């Protein structure tokens, strides 16, 4: 038998009245808070208006003067000089953070080093170019991908430094009129005796290889010409001539095609080998934007007003607590 006593209708009405009263009290508190807020702004309207005007004016000034610009240069390190290039970029960035304008001006050759904010370098990921005609690179990437995430493998520091092209980004606080900064950086990067010797040796080797290839192609042309003459002579004699499939004629033609292709590759090499760090393209004065970039004229008035409100409430709270403590004492 149940021991619960049913709640009377009168008790239920009392509970509903209490709930209704609490809801009304809650909205009344909200209304009171809103009213006090309006009173606060009316009472301090001159101070608030002054803060808004000062914040807007200061924000306008900062928006016009505090600019950030990015300048990009895409480079191709030759003769396995990628690690050397990254080390030089990191050295310059550390000198910028230290404020070593003497080093930047005298050693790097930058005329206005105070414009510099930072410099960074990152690879331009091109996994297809990395494995093109390089089976060993393909096998290495495949092996690394089998042991982990392929995206992580592509972005891995060890892999990324083997990409052909890299992007150097320079950040300044003002517009760069000409290409002076980029030219100074390239001159600094290419100022290395060790890689200059490697460059000279590579140029000699490539040119010697091209001469040898031209000689071989000429010899193949003579062989093909002689063969063509013999074939034409045999046809004129109205005699049937049978050719063995193992004459290796197809191999000779294929060898010539490979050599012609190799010569084209070497010509492209010579174009890029004129510098240790070869500049591919340069882009100047890219204005950097962000969430609050160019919006300080709107942000600062809000910061000043909310700061004033916080200080006012903090001061009122402090006075109230001080009075309570004094009365208790």
Q: Quick: pLDDT tens for 1-59.
A: 445 445 556 555 566 677 777 777 777 778 777 877 787 778 888 888 888 888 888 87
CA atoms within 13 A on the CB side of 251: 4
Helices (H), 127-192: 127-131, 135-146, 150-155, 157-160, 180-189
User: Is 55 found in the same domain as 86?
Assistant: no
Residue 238's pLDDT is what?
47
User: Is 258 found in the same domain as 164?
Assistant: no
What range does the domain containing 168 cover? 67-191+278-287
Q: Does residue 235 sit within a domain?
A: yes
Strands (E), 78-182: 116-123, 166-172
Q: Quick: pLDDT tens for 205-236.
A: 999 999 998 888 888 888 777 776 765 555 54
- Which of 101-105, 313-317, 325-329 is predicted with the least confidence, judged by mean pLDDT? 325-329
Q: Quick: pLDDT tens for 274-323.
A: 899 998 888 888 877 666 666 777 788 888 888 888 888 888 777 877 77
The answer, yes or no, to whether residue 152 has pLDDT greater than 60, is: no
The CA angle 210-212-213, to the nearest 5 degrees, is 65
Higher pLDDT, 64 or 184: 184
User: Is 182 found in the same domain as 89?
Assistant: yes
Residue 242's pLDDT is what?
45
Q: Does residue 72 sit within a domain?
A: yes
Q: Does residue 325 sit within a domain?
A: no
**pLDDT exceeding 70 applies to what percent of the chain?**
74
Count of domains in the chain?
Answer: 3
The answer, yes or no, to whether residue 115 has pLDDT greater than 70, is: yes
Residue 239's pLDDT is what?
47
Question: Residues 56-72: what's their mean pLDDT?
Answer: 78
List of residues 6+ apart from 227 with CB closer than 8 A: 249
């Amino acid at each position: 038998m149940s021991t619960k006593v049913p709640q009377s209708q009168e008790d239920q009405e009392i509970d509903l009245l209490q709930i209704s009263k609490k809801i009304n009290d809650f909205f009344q508190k909200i209304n009171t808070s809103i009213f006090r807020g309006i009173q606060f702004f009316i009472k301090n309207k001159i101070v608030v208006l002054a803060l808004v005007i000062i914040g807007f004016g200061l924000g306008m000034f900062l928006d016009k003067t505090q600019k950030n610009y990015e300048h990009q240069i895409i480079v191709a390190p030759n003769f396995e000089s990628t690690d050397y290039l990254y080390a030089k970029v990191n050295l310059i960035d550390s000198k910028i953070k230290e404020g070593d304008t003497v080093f930047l001006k005298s050693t790097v050759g930058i005329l206005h080093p105070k414009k510099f904010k930072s410099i960074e370098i990152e690879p331009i990921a091109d996994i297809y170019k990395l494995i093109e005609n390089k089976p060993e690179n393909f096998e290495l990437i495949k092996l690394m991908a089998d042991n982990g995430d392929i995206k992580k493998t592509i972005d891995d520091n060890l892999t990324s430094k083997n990409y052909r092209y890299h992007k150097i980004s320079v950040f300044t606080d003002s517009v760069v009129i000409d290409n002076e900064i980029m030219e100074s950086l390239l001159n600094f990067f290419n100022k290395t005796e060790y890689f200059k010797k490697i460059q000279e040796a590579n140029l000699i080797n490539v040119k010697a290889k091209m001469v040898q290839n031209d000689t071989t192609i000429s010899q193949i042309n003579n062989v093909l010409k002689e063969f063509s003459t013999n074939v034409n002579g045999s046809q004129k004699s109205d005699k049937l001539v049978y050719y063995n499939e193992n004459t290796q004629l197809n191999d000779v033609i294929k060898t010539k095609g490979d050599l012609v292709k190799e010569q084209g590759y070497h010509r492209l090499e010579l174009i890029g080998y004129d510098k240790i760090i070869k500049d591919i393209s340069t882009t100047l004065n890219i204005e950097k934007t962000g969430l609050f970039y160019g919006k300080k004229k709107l942000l600062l008035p809000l910061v000043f007003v909310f700061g004033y409100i916080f200080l006012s409430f903090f001061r009122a709270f402090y006075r109230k607590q001080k009075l309570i403590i004094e009365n208790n004492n």
